[in-house]
Structure 1
Amino acid sequence: MKRVVILLAAAFTLMWGACSDPYADQVFKDTDKMPAASFMEANEDVYSLWVDLLKYTGLFNTVNLNMDYTCFVPDNEAMHKYLQAKGKSSVRELDMEEASNLVRYHTIASKQYTTSDFPDGMFPDSTASGDYLSLEMREGGFQAFYINDEARIKELNITATNAVIHLLESVLTPVTGTIVDNLDENYTLMLDLLNKTGYEKLLSSIYMNGVKYRYTLFAVPDDVFAEAGINSVASLAVYLGETNNDYTDPANKVNRYVGYHIANSAYSFADMNTDIDNNTSKNVSMMASNTLISMRLVNEMFFLNYNEETKKGISVTRKNLNCKNGVIHVVDGMMEITEPKATKVTWDLTDYPELAGVCEKYQLENQSKTYTRSLAYDILNCYKLSGGYGSDYTYHLANKNEVMYKASNHDCMFLNLGKYGWIQMESPMIIAGKYKMSLVHYNQALKTKEGRWSVIVDGEYVGVQVTTWGSSTSKSEMITTTIGEVEFTESVPHTVRFMAGDDYYSYLDCLIFEPIN
């Protein structure tokens, strides 16, 4: 799961509620020393319409607060076009709820993002409206940053005392509705499939048991189905060779087909291109049990489930359709279930939606302070544990100056379970084959080797005992230690247990499975 951040709406309500302007009686002479709203007010030739919007919504004072903001602000020309398209002559003719949401959607109220902090894909912090913006850099370098695939940043890194402002040449369209809400008349069969299989409820939800989940849907349009002679759920069942009409059964081929189009995390188009180079691929787990989708670059073109024999794959025709609970990408093919070839698997040991749901901060970049979340033994179902008195397991998100910041997604599991204590979890699906298995961990400099762990996969010990202390006597660093070789006869998830060999604590990052031959 790529950087799922749980920021409850109540927190934004408090941050963005009515408040007095701390700078109301202060006269500024140097625009470089002004807070964001006052800075924009002083540069009315560029920002006057946005400033009017801030005052109309009562958020001018809020944007002046001594906090950290990233403001994506449309210039006056962009605002004129926006108002003209809506048939309005003034921002004060906008509905108040619409106007307030517009400001919130353009503002990240937790961090100042300069270009050096820009992510490759989705911003890890949500906007003040609780939504997530995506970023793409196209040909043209710093002049070709696009937000949500719709608005180019025309001027970068404009600094105020409490914010970074990025000037937009068009207004962003605020996200409204869930994934299901955003499937229009071009996706009637996809909607019917979601309804008949029970996935509609999942993709219509924003919170489940108090946890905010986000998903990716690869949506097949009606015309793509029609090209295959499919115009109903029943005809898809015939196409797939399914005779059971209980489409809610997870083993049903129609149910599995739909689940194969849903990922249990929100992947922007840039996220999908991350960690692959030209003519290489990666596999991503989908919601249908024991299924993977291949993401591959071929001659700099992105494909899903690319077939090397036919030289064909599935293309994304519309990307980054952001929704309240995830993102939609439109595909140009049926995208039937296939089993891709084995590739290198990097399994982040913190990569569980359930863990994300209990952490205020999770898999974030460029944090100035370390965040930790001590976990009770019975709080999460994704981990099973056994440890002695005083044992501990904690989620650790590193700050940008820590050695552990180099960990996958900048986080680790801190474990101190006592000798013979253990923690057990389930891996993502791994394609059948033989692999070299390695552990990425923080190595504490020490003269002796300590922090010992045995790794048990599906009940069998693998390789040698790993030590996480003492690989170097002088330098503490993130390192990769080979465990041994493992062979899987089935393409399924696997049970992995780490058993402690001493009383030392360790920071474990991820397991790597590299195909052999």
Structure 2
Amino acid sequence: MNNKDILQLLVCGLMIAALAIFGCKKVDYSPGTTSDVNITGYLEKYSDSFSLFKQILDRTETSDFLNAYGAYTCFAPTNSGVKTWLAKIGAASVEAADLNKLKDMVKFHLLTDTITTASFKDGKLPVPTMFGQFLVTGVSNEGGSSSYTINRQSLVTQSNIKVGNGYIHQLNRVLEPSTLTIAQQLEAKPEYTIFVEALKETGFYTLLNTVDPDTTKRWMTVMAESNTALADSGINNYAQLKDRYNNTGNAANTNDSLHMYVAYHILTGVKFLGDIINAPSHTTLEPQEVISIELINQNVVLNQVEFNGVTETGVTINRPVSDNAATNGVWHDAKAHFTVKYRKPTAVFWDVSTFPEILKLPAYYQKQSYTWRRQSEADEPFKEITWGWGSLASTNIFTYSYSTTSSLTRYAVNNDVNQLPLGLPARPTWWEMTTPAIIKGKYKVWMCYSRSKQSSSSNNLCQVSVNGDLMPRTMNFTDLRPKGSDAELEAIGWKQYTEVRAYNTDSNYAGRLVGTYEFKTTQRQTIRITNLTGTQNNNFLDMIHFIPIDDNQVWPKFKTDGTKTYQ
């Protein structure tokens, strides 16, 4: 017998042995996606902690569907928490409790999605409960240890318990949904009497006291001012507030300044602080007026803006007493008095090379060039600048270019420009930037650049859009500024934006009018440069001017140190 025959006999023997051992046994197959118990099974398994909550699920006929396949998150209160809650509602036992109240309690502890503590940010969870209200998470620090909190009502004592149909988070208290509207909650607090009186006289109290069955219309957000916040601005009672703003004699009149003041404190939609900080501005019930948002050292600050180098200090939200959920939305507490500001349109001469990331590099800003490189399409190195990903990795870069000797930056404002590679197929197809705050009104938009033409055939024709709206005129980074007087140039949509100098490359510094745009709201805006034809790396953007249509479009001009020069 050779080795091959011996090996075949051994294999046959092993197969026979396997059949003898397993042949008469039943093989169990799990119909689910995991062998873990489901939510109901887990609560049964740990009845010492959850028997009362399980009884509530049984009585509300919820146990069966939480034992089936699905994707849920359950916030499960322990027995001690349920006992405390039953005593609070006056029920001696689960069987003695009102059935509808038990059903609402269960709905408020369930989400139809799988949510782990990775989503427990300072604010509401990404999906509402089955009750229809959002849960708010936070962190509590007691005795040197930190714990997650839910709705400021309960601590998470064990988290991310993975079960077959989702996750369980163990709570030490029962969560209770809001039962009062925003208006009712504010009225119940004596520290907001002046603001509530203003809500009533302007008619907004009725709006904030309504729970619209249509959830697309129900939710509102209020930035409330306490009596203390108003007192800091010399307003100690409602009569003084009314005297300051009630200019028509009818606070319900939409043209009345008191009505405008209150409308400006109400935002559309439900916006917890976690939502508020994710957008640069939010619309209010005062038409075309927005509240701008800045996150400064973890402080949420309203309406802190800079106009032409002058910073207007904003109002900070009092985080510990904000994120107050109501049946029709949420309200926050503003630490100081604020109201809408009606400003006259004012020119913005934006030096695009003063973006936050370069200002944080004092070794480079106005000293030497610096390049950022995106490692992938998802990589976003800037807060206020982004670009369309190009297929050539080496051109997915952004360069802050500075030099006092280069012909491309020597006579630029502050001797620096932003270098923007553009052009299909390899280079970015567009660049987008967030502007400084611009007061609402109608403006002419001027793109000011240092002209470069890498070769005789180089061409880079671009389209500019503002807030997604295309400007009627194109621009080309390879075009020289035409010759002519200021009046002649302006008539054909050009200007010299730098101070007049007698040098050969003077016409490299060109201001190109791309169109007129009406800004509907006072806030920071979005501008995008999109490549149409041609391609090159050396496109050098120096400034963008937003000038009210009735203002002088040619003056002032700018010196290399950034100062203005006039006629």
Q: Same fold (TM over 0.5)?
A: yes
Q: Which residue does 1:157 correspond to in 2?
A: 160
Provide the secondary structure at the position in 2 that maps to 1:34: coil
Distance in 2, matches of 1:254 and 1:69, equals 46
Could you say which residue in structure 2 is the equivalent of 1:80?
A: 83
Instruction: Choose the corresponding residue for 2:315, options 313, 316, 334.
Output: 313
> Could you tell me the TM-score, scaled by structure 2's length?
0.53
Q: 2:336 aligns with which of 333, 336, 341?
A: 333
User: Which residue is equivalent to 1:288?
Assistant: 286
Which consecutive residues of structure 1, in runs of 5 or more, have no partner in the other structure? Answer: 1-26, 276-281, 345-402, 409-426, 438-451, 466-483, 503-513
Letter in 1 for 2:198: L
Q: Following the alignment from structure 1 to structure 2, what is the Cα–Cα distance between the partners of residues 429 and 248?
A: 34
Q: In structure 2, do the counterparts of structure 1 residues 149 and 274 end up closer, same or farther at CA, with 3 Å as the change threshold?
A: farther
Q: Percent identity?
A: 22
**CA deviation after TM superposition for structure 1 residue 75, in Å:** 1.6
Cα deviation, 1:384-421, whole Å, max 9, x if unaligned, reads xxxxxxxxxxxxxxxxxxx9999x9xxxxxxxxxxxxx
What is the alpha-carbon distance in structure 1 between the residues aligned to residue 323 and residue 436 of structure 2? 26
Counterpart of 2:521 (choices 492, 495, 498) is 492
Paired position in structure 1 for 2:254: 250
Partner of 1:195: 200
Write the distance in 2 (CA, Å) between the matches of 1:46 and 1:78.
Answer: 10
Report the Cα offset of residue 274 of structure 1: 4.1
2: CA distance, partners of 1:436 / 1:133: 47
Deviations, residues 281-340 of structure 1 (Å, cap 9, x unaligned): x44332213333343344444433459979773341511111222111123332333489
CA distance in 1, matches of 2:248, 2:158: 57
For 2:40, the equivalent position in structure 1 comes to: 37
Q: 1:215 aligns with which of 209, 212, 220?
A: 220
Post-superposition Cα deviations, 1:456-499, rounded to whole Å, max 9, x if no partner, equal: 7778426569xxxxxxxxxxxxxxxxxx988878672799999x
Matched, 1:166 2:169: yes
Match of 1:133 in 2: 135
* Counterpart residue number, 1:374: none
Instruction: Flag the structure with more relative contact order, 1 or 2, with Cα contacts below 8 A and sequence separation at least 6.
Output: 1
Structure number with bigger Rg: 2
What runs of 5+ residues in structure 2 fail to find an aligned partner?
Answer: 1-29, 351-376, 384-433, 448-461, 477-512, 533-543, 547-561, 563-567
Cα distance in 2 for residues equivalent to 1:404 and 1:296:
24
TM-score, structure 1 normalization: 0.57
The whole-number CA distance in structure 1 between the counterparts of 2:218 and 2:121 is: 20
* Structure 1 pair 208–428 and aligned structure 2 pair: CA distance change class (3 A): farther
* 1:387-426 superposed matches below 5 A: none
User: Residue 60 of structure 1 aligns to a residue in which SS?
Assistant: coil
Letter in 1 for 2:273: F
In the TM superposition, what is the alpha-carbon distance from 1:36 to its structure 2 partner? 0.8
Residue 239 (1) aligns with residue 244 (2)? yes
Structure 1 residues 126-135 or 191-200, which shifts more?
A: 191-200
Determine if contact 1:216/1:264 at 8 Å carries over to the other structure: yes
- Specify the SS of the correspondent of 1:104: helix
Aligned residues of 2:225 and 2:333 also touching (Cα < 8 A): yes
Select 1:259's aligned residue among 263, 269, 272: 263
| Structure 1 residues 208 and 78: CA distance shift in structure 2, 3 A | closer
> Per the alignment, do residues 65 and 209 of structure 1 end up closer, same or farther by CA in structure 2, a change over 3 Å counting?
same
Instruction: Identify if the C-alpha distance between structure 1 residues 405 and 205 changes in structure 2 by more than 3 Å, giving closer, same or farther.
Output: farther
CA distance in 2, matches of 1:124, 1:247: 38
Amino acid at match of 1:219: A
Relative to structure 1, the CA distance from residue 113 to residue 455 in structure 2 (aligned partners, 3 Å threshold; closer, same or farther) is same
Q: 1:489 to 1:195 in 2, by over 3 A?
A: same
1:95 corresponds to: 98
Q: 1:356: which partner in 2?
A: none
Contact 1:284 1:293 in 2 (8 A): yes
Contact 1:113 1:164 in 2 (8 A): yes
Q: Against the structure 1 CA distance between its residues 315 and 100, is the aligned structure 2 distance closer, same or farther, given a 3 Å change threshold? A: same
Q: Which amino acid aligns with 2:116?
A: T
**Rounded Cα–Cα distance in structure 1 between residues aligned with 2:50 and 2:435:** 48
CA RMSD, Structure 1 to Structure 2 (Å): 5.0
**Take 1:119 and 1:84, find their aligned partners in 2: how far apart are those partners?**
32
| Cα distance in 1 for residues equivalent to 2:435 and 2:324 | 26
Q: What SS is found at the alignment partner of 2:184?
A: coil
- Of 414, 433, 439, which aligns to 1:432? 439
- 1:437-474 Cα shifts (integer Å, max 9, x gaps): 9xxxxxxxxxxxxxx98847778426569xxxxxxxxx
In 2: Cα distance, 1:80 partner to 1:310 partner: 52
Residue 66 to residue 459, structure 1, CA distance change in 2 (3 Å): closer
* Number of positions where the alignment pairs a residue of Structure 1 with one of Structure 2: 365
Letter in 1 for 2:287: S
CA gap of 1:66–1:331, structure 2 versus 1, over 3 A, is same
